[in-house]
Structure 1
Amino acid sequence: MNVTTPQIDTVPGRYWHHLEDGRIQCDVCPRFCKLNDGQRGLCFVREREGDQMVLTTWGRSSGFCIDPVEKKPLNHFLPGTPILSFGTAGCNLTCKFCQNYEISKAREMDKLGSLATPEMIAQTAKAYGCSAVAFTYNDPVIFLEYAVDVAQACREAGIRTVAVTAGYIGDKAREEFFRHMDAANVDLKGFTEDFYHKLCSAHLADVLETLKYLKHETGVWFELTNLVIPGENDGDAEFDEMTQWVHDELGPDVPMHFSAFHPDWKMMDHPRTPPATLIRARDIAMKNGIRYAYVGNVHDKAGSSTFCHNCGHILIGRDWYQLSDWNLDAQGACTKCGTHCAGVFQRHPGTWGPKRQPVRLMVPKTMP
């Protein structure tokens, strides 16, 4: 059964304060939108209503689908398992290359047609045998209150939660948000302030602070994705500086995914990323000590598989989202030399494969 009655629920928002000029400042992200009554922030889902901030999309979703966890992408978090994915609407960045712009740039709340309480989401994930629930398609930072409520319901049901995010979040909100997450994939979109300012209307430094916080202040398993755009962030010098920073500040065990761009939204004039560029980025990352570097959005088994950083033995074979080889023992170590592979692994890999399955939420018996 599915509930599709359009119904926008608002809940009190957190992380805001009054300004001397009578406006309210939202502190969820470093954009710090300053609002008069009735105004919404750039994300479009956080609104000043009277004398408080509210979230306008609590309990509403743009749709649910079961994906392979590798699609997030996460290669070291419960490989081969299914993950229930959903998003809402809006975003706090303005990326001209957005590949989910129908959702992230939505200004019409009728795109959110599914009533989705935290309990419904957790029960559905459990019923379908999903390892986790992923907040994706648009950035969960902007619906923090809803994401936290869903994460709490999932934890009570024994289901983990994953945030797919750009990491553009304020320091106080960051603490609460990630306290409830088990894993994350963070988009490190480029490694220059010019790229973030020109193409995303954001700042690189704030994202780097989030990454350092995740590594040094939390137990969240996280991986990085760099969408490589020809002519914008695909230079060898930028790959070198970025991967050296990741190695030095986050350590060698944080996996990095270099993904192919395809023309979309406001960047239709840019070509697709050549596979050779992704391979070059991966080579530079590994030269700089990154143990787990991957290429994405292309067929490349060698560039998508996980290898032991000590002996070079293949640990997890992948081609897109299909697993093949599995040479990790019950403790997550290489079966050939015994070297530990960083990540969160089960004794055996999942068998979900590349399937994508849209689902309807389960409605509790207590609901009409």
Structure 2
Amino acid sequence: MSGSIYGNLFRISSWGESHGKGIGVVVDGCPAGLSIDEAIIQTFLDRRKPGQTKYSTPRVESDKVEILSGTFENLTTGTPISMVVMNQSQRSSDYSDIASYYRPGHADYTYDEKYGFRDYRGGGRSSGRETIARVAAGAIASSILKELGISVFAYTKSIGNITINESKANLDDRMKSPFYMPDLEASLKAEDFLQEQMLKKDSVGGIIECIVTGMPVGVGEPNFDKLDANLAKAVMSIGSVKGIEFGSGFESANSTGSINNDNFRYVNGILTKDTNHSGGILGGLSDGSDIVLRAAIKPTPSIASTQETVNKDNENISINIKGRHDPIIVPRAVVVVESMVAITLVDMLFMSMTSRMDNVKEFFKK
């Protein structure tokens, strides 16, 4: 199976299955001398681990990370960093029936057609549990960005039809909400809405917004490796993401040039923009303002209500999925979006270091 390696100069290789022995990642291209330890990585993993609220899967996993290589005395050595999280609470028997039919909204059918068979225990590589690898690598990428004064901050903007009120939102309140919503009033409404759907044995989706601050100007590559193109690929590679937009996004299609253009202005000797409809990216390059992107997360496909599908004998059947599943994926995906954005930014920053001859000469000047 190809497609488990992402990045150019800062590269991650993800491995493992939902019901295998563990999930892991190898990070290659991290500079030597970065301060990192398991506690830093664990802080990120704790934000996505299951069983923390009544709105999460009851599967209980510690998701305890172990660094196997690439560090010495809590500093990176410049060699590949290998990390693993062992699975502890697999209940593969919950998935024995799935081997004979295709779950709606899942990759069962497409995996069977591509490979001739599949690991049906929790979805194997298509399981959301694979994102452990991304978050562990994202913790390292975020540490690199922190050294450069760059911050990546994501939160839940909406759940179903309930959207945060920007005037009432306080980013410091994000961690007080079970959904990572910075508007606690909207968070309470979202709880009521989700409870209603859970009683109906249904699930819901939502939108995650991610803001990057401190990004220097000119990061990105022309044409096929544009910053927004690579960020879109990174975020869209998260299994539950079905759409992405930057800045004004799809609303810009209903706008006009005079409104959608961001006017430039010098303020106290600093070039700024009056607005940020571009979402911080122009021509595929960062423009120095905040990068703003939003990802649409689909409802959890594993629901307890009766669904119609087919089995391998080409028979139409009705099913009721068993197992432990999230009624909403959005809250646990917030840190995953942050991580994929951070990984991409580090890779693009490293690629941009050789864009100008004066930068190369300055680096190698003796």
TM-score (normalised: structure 1): 0.24
User: Over alpha carbons, which structure has the higher Rg?
Assistant: 2
More helix by percentage: 2
TM-score by length of 2: 0.24
For CA contacts below 8 A with separation 6 or more, give which structure has more relative contact order. Answer: 2
